[in-house]
Structures are given as structure tokens and as C-alpha cells.
């Protein structure tokens, strides 16, 4: 062909080879992300054969960064973070600090410049949220307390890394950037540059929170009224990329931060779920291009030339970060299983490490050698991460069997694992044991409270239990699948067990334990899976409520009642009362369906 088709060639080769390697990776049960990185290695200049256009791939990867961060912002839940704030915030900061120190010290021993050492250490300190979410979803523990702590921990890491990305450009001169030697790049004292940068970031954030929170939902509402699906999808992508570009051009804010706030503001809209759904295919596609372009930067020869450097990097990622996280979680008096889960979650590095390392290279602070070690460490750690999750249970058993100190730690008394001795007798006999205090559990508890029915809450989130007790609500901290926890809730004397949390993994064990301790107890179960609801009903565990089924039944009853008007005043009053109850039920079930989705 006579005309230039380098863009088409780059995209076609990147998607095609990424598809092949991603498929192979999934077949051998490792994350597809590893396959995408390997596809980039194959297309890069470090391997023989066809080499894709590096400059075009770099620009395409920037779009991938924008859409990736837009997705993170769109799913960022401040409520979920606040639920585990007491461990996630100090834990993430302490772990990132320790990992950064380890990376800094080891690279300093190699004779690297101080700025390079710092960026290298920071790049090793942040784990991949994408890899973690996929791992937790595969294990079915994303909605458990362990999963929420791990996700909250990584959200804090993401926010800290975004702040680092903001501060890195003005600090580049101090860190040894060649631009610092050129007087034309020096606009004033360092404190002034940092101050201007922070003011620009503050102005952008204020604009997004004040104007964006009102304008963007209104804009999506107007576009949705046109009924055009492609126009809605176009608006979502235009908002994500447009705000990211505008943030960079007008406020000197990184693409990543601009896209993150675009997603976070759009989350306020009632169309946030639709926006996430419509943008997902394009977001996934350009995310693949991002990982491919990162792989293109990798120089495979480093595996042979610097094997000991690579071993040191992998040791920091898998051992150093894991041991630091394990110690921190145990210090906060959480269980060994929780500590091992968080440790496995952090034993890898991913997209933010690449973004941080790439920014370091563009600023002249990071050397290609450091980036190659980060890429190699990422490839190996992500490939090994599923194995680490598989080892959690056997490793926990092995540690508890061999080490008395570990058993002593595991037996430490949780201050909220037992009911206070001052609890009234009505909460110990003929009470309702309510497992889970989320959106559904909270509504059930409110209704029980209004009718004076005594109940005891069993909740995994220790911070939530602490808050409940300050409000004089009787609650126990722990996993309801553990018999000791249900015993503390006095399930043996309870009238009813209500499992308001969608936990298909442990719900059977909860019901079995309750039935063993109290054969006459009535059990109410909740599920958001039709197959699971059918299986539970066939097993005879108790009364099973399937969210969508109950929602449809309530709506149908309301419709039928509406088209059969009462003929007497008494019937009218009864129908009115029924309509009010139906509306309340529909509202509760809609909340349950929203939580399940």
C-alpha cells in the first residue's frame, strides 16, 4: 500500500498477538495481563522480528491509562473505604513506606542515583488493583471481610500513588532530572513550584466537585433522553478522555488524575452503572494496548545480564511486601487468615508501577534498567499470584500446627468477639440473630427495632460492630461460619437466624451450625443467585429469599391490586396499607438487588 498505515498495523498486531497470548495465559490459569505483557515483549525492539511503532503505541497507551483510571474512579466507593479505614489507611501507608525503603536501599547498593532509587522503591510499593479484583472474584471472596480489607487497602495505595504522580514533575529537578540543568526549565524555588502544582490540582478538584458533580449528571440525563445508545456511549468516552486532556492542558494535572476524578464525579449520577457498562468494552480494549505498550519497553536480556538484581526485586515484591503486610494486619489484631489474604493481595505489582516508572523515564529520573526490572518483577509476581492465594489455607494450617506463638496470636481476645456481660436477658433468649449489617441487614434491623423485637447483630467488620455498640445495639464481631461466633450470639436459645449477607460460600455452614446448636430454630436466608436459591430450598435449610424473585412478586401484587379496586371503605383502607407495605418491600429489595449487582 502506498499510504502510511502504521497506526492500523500497530493496533492490529497488538490486539492480535495480545489475544493469542492472553488466551494461552487464561488456559494455564494465570492472569491474562501476563499474556498482554508478553505480547508487548514480542512486538518490542528487544526481540527479533516485527517491531511495532513505539511512539504510536505510547500514545495509545495514554488513552489506556485514561480509561483505566476512569474505571477506577467510576467504581471508587468512599463508603467501602470508610468501612475499613482504621486498618486500610495506616496499613497501606506503612506498607508502602516499608516497601519503598527496601527498594530504595537495594538500588542504592547497586550504585544508582538517589532519585532513581526513590522512584524505583515507590514503583515496587504499589500493587495492581486489576489483578487483585480478578483474583478475589475467582475465589468468590470479594464480598467477604477479607476481600473488603484487601480492596480498601489497595484503594488507599492507588490514591497515594495518584498524589505521587502529581508531585513528581515539580520534584524532578531535585531527584536528578536533566531538565534541572537547563535554566529555562527553572521557574522559581522548589517550594514555589510545589505550591503552584498543588494549587492547580486543588483548583481542578474544586472545579470537578463543585461544577462537575452537577453538570455531568445533568448532561448524561439529557443525552439519555435522546434514547440513543451510541450517543450515550460516545458521551461517556468523550467525558473521560476530554476531562483527562483538559486537566493536563489547563491545570498541568496528569491524565491519570484527570480521568480518575472524571469517573469519581460520574459515579454520583444515577447513570453510573450504565456508564460503566457502556464504556467497559472500549476500556478493556485500550487497557490491553496499555499493557502491550509497557511490554514493548522490556529488554529480555536483563534476565541473563542481571539475574541477581531480578531475584532481589522479586524478593521485595513477594516476600518483603507480604511480610510487612502480614505484620501490620496481625498488629491490628485481625486473624491469621485475614493477614495472609492481604499479604497475597499485595505480593505483585502492576499498572500503577508501570505508570510511575514510565513517568520517571519521561522526566529523565528513572533509567531503562530500572523499568526493565519493574516489568520483569511484575510479569513473574503476577504469574505467581494465583498460587499464593491457593496456599493461604494450607499455609495457615501449617503455621498454626508448628508455631505456638502463632496459636497464641490467633487466640488473642477480640474485644468485640463477646457480648458484654451487662446485656439484658431478652437478647439472650428468643431473640433474632441477624448476620450481616449491610444495606439489607440495616433495614431489617430498623424494622425489628421499630417493633420492639430483640435482635443480636453478627458482623465481620469489627469497626462496624464498634459503631453499633456506641449506639447501644447488641452486636458481635466475627465470621458467622465459625461456630464460636454464633455461640457468642446465643444462637442456641434464639428464635430465628436471619442471614442477610449474600455469602454463597459460607451460608450452608452457618445454617448447619445453627441447626446443630438449636434444632428448632427458624432460618431465613438471602441469595442473589437463582441456582443457589433453588439449591438451598432443595436442601431444606430454611426460607430462602431470592432478590429478583421477591421484587417481581411484590411488583406483580401491586399491579394486580391496582387493577382490582376495593368496593368498600374498609377494603380501601386495607389496600392502602398493603400498598404502603408493598412500596417499602420494593424499596428494600431494590436496595438488595443494587448491592448484589
- Per-residue pLDDT tens digits for 95-152: 999 999 999 999 999 999 988 999 999 999 988 877 787 777 777 776 677 887 888 8
Which residue, among 503, 455, 463, 451, has the nearest Cα to 480 in the 3D structure? 503
Burial of 85 (0-12, 13-18, 19+ CB in 10 A): middle
- What CA–CA distance (Å, rounded) separates 235 from 279? 10
Cα atoms found within 13 Å of the Cα of residue 464, Cβ hemisphere only: 24
Note whether 326 and 340 are within 8 A (CB).
yes
- What CA–CA distance (Å, rounded) separates 275 from 283? 11
Non-local CB neighbours of 97 within 8 Å, separated by 6+ positions: 125
CA distances from 74 to 78, 235, 274, 277, 556 (A): 11, 15, 11, 11, 33
**Protein fold of 425-596:** Rossmann fold (3.40.50)
Nearest-10 crossing angle of helices 114-125, 351-362 = 160
Which residue, among 87, 144, 148, has the nearest Cα to 482 in the 3D structure? 144
Q: What values do phi and psi take at 498, rounded to 5?
A: -115, 115
Domain range summary for the chain, segments of one domain joined by +: 6-397, 425-596
- What CA–CA distance (Å, rounded) separates 544 from 276? 31
Task: Note the pLDDT tens digit of each residue in 526-540.
Answer: 887 777 777 778 777
- CA torsion 581-585-591-592 (nearest 10°) is 160
Which residue, among 376, 202, 393, has the nearest Cα to 303 in the 3D structure? 376
CA distances from 590 to 337, 442, 545, 582, 583 (A): 33, 14, 13, 12, 10
Q: Over its length of 597 residues, how does the chain's per-residue pLDDT go in tens digits? A: 456 778 888 889 989 999 999 999 888 877 787 888 889 888 888 788 788 887 888 788 788 778 877 877 776 666 666 777 888 889 999 999 999 999 999 999 999 998 899 999 999 998 887 778 777 777 777 667 788 788 888 878 877 887 788 788 777 777 766 654 444 444 556 667 677 777 887 888 888 878 888 888 888 888 888 888 888 888 888 988 898 888 888 887 777 778 878 887 887 677 777 777 777 788 788 888 878 887 887 788 888 888 999 999 999 999 999 999 999 988 887 888 888 989 998 998 877 888 888 888 888 888 888 888 998 888 888 878 888 888 888 998 898 888 877 777 766 556 677 788 788 888 888 999 999 888 788 889 999 999 999 999 998 877 788 888 888 899 988 888 888 888 888 988 899 999 888 666 678 888 888 888 998 899 988 887 777 777 778 777 788 888 778 778 888 888 887 787 655 556 556 656 656 665 565 555 555 545 444
- What CA–CA distance (Å, rounded) separates 31 from 40? 15
CB contact burial 160-173 (16+ within 10 A = b; e otherwise): bbbebbbebbbbbb
Cell reading at 465 = 460492630
Q: What values do phi and psi take at 434, rounded to 5?
A: -105, 110
Which residue, among 83, 86, 94, 227, has the nearest Cα to 145 in the 3D structure? 83
DSSP 474-487: -EEES-TTSHHHHH
Q: What is the β-pairing status of strands 496-499 and 475-477?
A: unpaired
**Protein fold of 6-397:** Na+/H+ antiporter like fold (1.20.1530)
The 10 Å Cβ neighbour count of residue 70 is: 31
Cell reading at 390 = 491457593
Burial of 553 (0-12, 13-18, 19+ CB in 10 A): middle
Note whether 494 and 518 are within 8 A (CB).
yes
Non-local CB neighbours of 492 within 8 Å, separated by 6+ positions: 517, 518
- What CA–CA distance (Å, rounded) separates 545 from 496? 15
The 10 Å Cβ neighbour count of residue 15 is: 14
Note whether 520 and 493 are within 8 A (CB).
no
CB contact burial 505-543 (16+ within 10 A = b; e otherwise): ebbbebbebbbebbeebebbbbbbeeebbeebeeeebbe
User: Which stretches of 451-482 are DSSP H helices?
Assistant: 462-470
Cell reading at 200 = 492547580
* Unique residue bearing C-alpha cell 489474604: 341
Amino acid at each position: 500500500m502506498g499510504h502510511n498505515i502504521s497506526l492500523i498495523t500497530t493496533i492490529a498486531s497488538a490486539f492480535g498477538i495480545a489475544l493469542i497470548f492472553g488466551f494461552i495465559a487464561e488456559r494455564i490459569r494465570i492472569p491474562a495481563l501476563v499474556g498482554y505483557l508478553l505480547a508487548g515483549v514480542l512486538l518490542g525492539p528487544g526481540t527479533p522480528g516485527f517491531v511495532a511503532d513505539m511512539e504510536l503505541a505510547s500514545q495509545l497507551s495514554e488513552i489506556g491509562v485514561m480509561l483505566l483510571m476512569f474505571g477506577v474512579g467510576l467504581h471508587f466507593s468512599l463508603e467501602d473505604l470508610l468501612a475499613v479505614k482504621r486498618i486500610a489507611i495506616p496499613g497501606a501507608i506503612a506498607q508502602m513506606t516499608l516497601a519503598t525503603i527496601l527498594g530504595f536501599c537495594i538500588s542504592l547498593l547497586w550504585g544508582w542515583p538517589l532519585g532513581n532509587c526513590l522512584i524505583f522503591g515507590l514503583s515496587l510499593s504499589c500493587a495492581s488493583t486489576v489483578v487483585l479484583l480478578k483474583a478475589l472474584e475467582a475465589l468468590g471472596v470479594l464480598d467477604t471481610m477479607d476481600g473488603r480489607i484487601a480492596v480498601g487497602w489497595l484503594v488507599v495505595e492507588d490514591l497515594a500513588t495518584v498524589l505521587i504522580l502529581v508531585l513528581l514533575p515539580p520534584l524532578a529537578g531535585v531527584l536528578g532530572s536533566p531538565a534541572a540543568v537547563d535554566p529555562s526549565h527553572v521557574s522559581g524555588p522548589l517550594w514555589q513550584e510545589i505550591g503552584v502544582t498543588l494549587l492547580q490540582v486543588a483548583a481542578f478538584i474544586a472545579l470537578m466537585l463543585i461544577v462537575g458533580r452537577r453538570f455531568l449528571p445533568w448532561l448524561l440525563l439529557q443525552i439519555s433522553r435522546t434514547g440513543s445508545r451510541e450517543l450515550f456511549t460516545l458521551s461517556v468516552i468523550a467525558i473521560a478522555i476530554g476531562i483527562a486532556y483538559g486537566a493536563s492542558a489547563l491545570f498541568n494535572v496528569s491524565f491519570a488524575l484527570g480521568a480518575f476524578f472524571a469517573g469519581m464525579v460520574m459515579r454520583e449520577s444515577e447513570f453510573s452503572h450504565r456508564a460503566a457498562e457502556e464504556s467497559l468494552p472500549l476500556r478493556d480494549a485500550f487497557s490491553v494496548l496499555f499493557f502491550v505498550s509497557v511490554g514493548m519497553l522490556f529488554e529480555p536480556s536483563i534476565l541473563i545480564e542481571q539475574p541477581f538484581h531480578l531475584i532481589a526485586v522479586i524478593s521485595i515484591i513477594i516476600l518483603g511486601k507480604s511480610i510487612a503486610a502480614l505484620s501490620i494486619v496481625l498488629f491490628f489484631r485481625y486473624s491469621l487468615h485475614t493477614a495472609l489474604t492481604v499479604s497475597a493481595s499485595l505480593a505483585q505489582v502492576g499498572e500503577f508501577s508501570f505508570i510511575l516508572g514510565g513517568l520517571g523515564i519521561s522526566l529523565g529520573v528513572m533509567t531503562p534498567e530500572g523499568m526493565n526490572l519493574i516489568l520483569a518483577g511484575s510479569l513473574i509476581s503476577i504469574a505467581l499470584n494465583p498460587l499464593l492465594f491457593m496456599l493461604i489455607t494450607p499455609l495457615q494450617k501449617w503455621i498454626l500446627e508448628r508455631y505456638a506463638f502463632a496459636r497464641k496470636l490467633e487466640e488473642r481476645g477480640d474485644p468485640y468477639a463477646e457480648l458484654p456481660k451487662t446485656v439484658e436477658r431478652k437478647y439472650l433468649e428468643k431473640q433474632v440473630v441477624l448476620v450481616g449489617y449491610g444495606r439489607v441487614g440495616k433495614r431489617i434491623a430498623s424494622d425489628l427495632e421499630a417493633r420492639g423485637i430483640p435482635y443480636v447483630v453478627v458482623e465481620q467488620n469489627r469497626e462496624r460492630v464498634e459503631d453499633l455498640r456506641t449506639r447501644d445495639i447488641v452486636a458481635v464481631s466475627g465470621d458467622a461460619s465459625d461456630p464460636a461466633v454464633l455461640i457468642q450470639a446465643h444462637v442456641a436459645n434464639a428464635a430465628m437466624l436471619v442471614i442477610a449477607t449474600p455469602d454463597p460460600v459460607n451460608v450452608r455452614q452457618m445454617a448447619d451450625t445453627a441447626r446443630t446448636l438449636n434444632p428448632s430454630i427458624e432460618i431465613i436466608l438471602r441469595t442473589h443467585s437463582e441456582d443457589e436459591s433453588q439449591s438451598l430450598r432443595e436442601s431444606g435449610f430454611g426460607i430462602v429469599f431470592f432478590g429478583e424473585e421477591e421484587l417481581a412478586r411484590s411488583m406483580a401484587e401491586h399491579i394486580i391490586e391496582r387493577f382490582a379496586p376495593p368496593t368498600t371503605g374498609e377494603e380501601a383502607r386495607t389496600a392502602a396499607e398493603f400498598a404502603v407495605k408493598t412500596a417499602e418491600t420494593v424499596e428494600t429489595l431494590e436496595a438488595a438487588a443494587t448491592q448484589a449487582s
